[in-house]
Structure 1
Amino acid sequence: MALATVLEDEGFSVAATPRTLSATIEAVRMHDPTVAVVAAGLPGADHPVDRLAGTTDVPIVSIARGSPAPRGATAVVRTEGDGVLGVTDGTSAVVEAATRVAVEASEPRWADVTAGPGTDRFEPVPVGNRRLPPAPTLVVGASTGGPSLVQRLLAELPPEAGFRVVVVQHMRDGFEERFAKRLDACSQYAVRTSEEATALDPGMAIVAASGSHVRIVDDADDTITLEVAAEPPMHGVRPAIDPAFSSAARVVAPHRLSAVLLTGMGADGVEGIRAVGKAGGLTVAQDPEEATVDSMPGGAIATGAVDAVATVDEIVESVLDGLDRSGGD
């Protein structure tokens, strides 16, 4: 069955069905779709998904080479997004990923959604009887498929706990400001980019801006100070997760520190998780079985330095429980 037919059966309006990379680039330019669904083996160039991503800000759902999903490339409807969304391996996965992008792009609720239902259905997890350290720190790293997960994590993070949050999310240049506004709208934390703020107080979150790495260089009087450095890319990206994780391990008291590594391709964040674990901080990795791309969380788990492997439903609870068990002021 043709991919266009599958998508139309799911309620999508298909704008074009190009069969080569050059035709896909032109179709995306002409139709400005909500999402492009692209076969990894699309004729016309090596690495067609990367080539397409370099020409547009339209989100891309990539169909894995050799997948049982329908073949072809299709552009669908209209609006904005966060780059390559994920590598899928079946018809249902294509539809699910494309649906997620389309829902996230719909106004006026684009700032309040995750994979399917809106994040307005996610409430902060209560602290309850847990005894958390003052001004705890949470450093989050994510790549492909991460934006909606980070949204949910921030939405569920209890404001009374007074976390200081650093987010490093791999995304295309220029999207981090929009992403920070999205997080600010869906959570009870004040969210800024590292271009807007480098001092992080309890109840705040900072999203690493594109073009620079961020490091924690001081933690005094419950305020974290970040350094923003325009250094060469690491793991092919900038900002990278490892500098944020590793610097947190050096500077933040271990009983206050938690690091969460979510979905993503490659090895960014793996050495950072190892550093946090060695320092005595809490380390949590997303369950690779549910990750859009399992390389990053899987690599972290393989180090033996991960304290908890958690599904998205369990991540915030795992952080709160881990910090509660570590105890101390």
Structure 2
Amino acid sequence: MAVGLAAALPGSIVLVDLDVQFGDVASALALGPEYTLPDTVHGAATNDPLVLKTFLSRHSTGLHVVAGSDSPAAGDAVTPADVGRLVDMLSREFRYVVVDTAPGLTDHTLTALERATDLVMRGSMGVPGVRGLRKELDVLGELGLVPARRHLVLNNSDGGSSGLDLADVEQTVGAPLELVLPRHSTVPLSTNTGAPLLQKGGKDPVTRGLQTLVGRIPPVAAPVRGRLTSTTPGLAMLTVAGRAAYEALATRTQVADLRRFVGAVNQAEAYGIPLADVLRAQADEMRVKRRQRAEEQAMKVPVEVTFPLMVCVLPALLIIVVGPAAMGVLESLG
């Protein structure tokens, strides 16, 4: 599904492999990731969207990928709170955040579901798979974690040869199936070769079914910076002119703090960093520098006061203290 969305909106989709111990999204996409999920939730990537984007793998379709952990031990270092922060940050940077969860309802999965707008639940054509799907739906319903847009998908349908038909499945699940994908040889071939079905765009029933599912995902508005540049080119030109005006102002004033501020604002606009974050960081930096300058001036005061004290104040004190005594001595001698 993520590949299908990326085909329509390259660079605007990110896929998160949330199977923290045995994630295999990278293998399914034939990717050799340099960074994995634990890298994105620890260190500099947790606070800086630019750094986070450098930790993402890039698929040939334009899909960004947060690859799963290299080992179960590394995955254990990822907490549900880490997952929540990661999904929140990605949702501010991309139109769609597609999360591939592990089987079952782990704490990581529940954290992601708390932020979900669409839920795709997949079950297999078998009694254990159908009953498991029903149990998960019941639990999520009790927790209030079933989004308004829910898509139930039955995978590997065999047309009733296993003794179950679609009516039996829907009756057991307690909800209608939105999509039924038949068993087809293209699925294991796609997985083994690392070539997603929606990337090849075949005519087999599984690919057509996945295309239907992608079409049912409603469009999401682009981030603010994306709307400004894609739907209002005049405003984009105005932004370029504003950048030049900022730089001219910094050149005319020759104020170091203003030059740094202009550079930070221009960089934020170029890389899509929220301006509020830049202003907050600049305000903190300016506050620290003002305090440092005040402390520096306070340390200079004793040195600067010493010479005027010796030249002006000390002689006057001597006259006041010694003068009367000297006048008394002169009177006694006279």
Give the TM-score, by structure 1 length. 0.32
Greater radius of gyration (CA) = 2
Q: Whose strand proportion is higher, 1 or 2?
A: 1
Q: Whose helix proportion is higher, 1 or 2?
A: 2
Give the TM-score, by structure 2 length. 0.31
Q: Which has the higher contact order (CA 8 A, sep 6+)?
A: 2
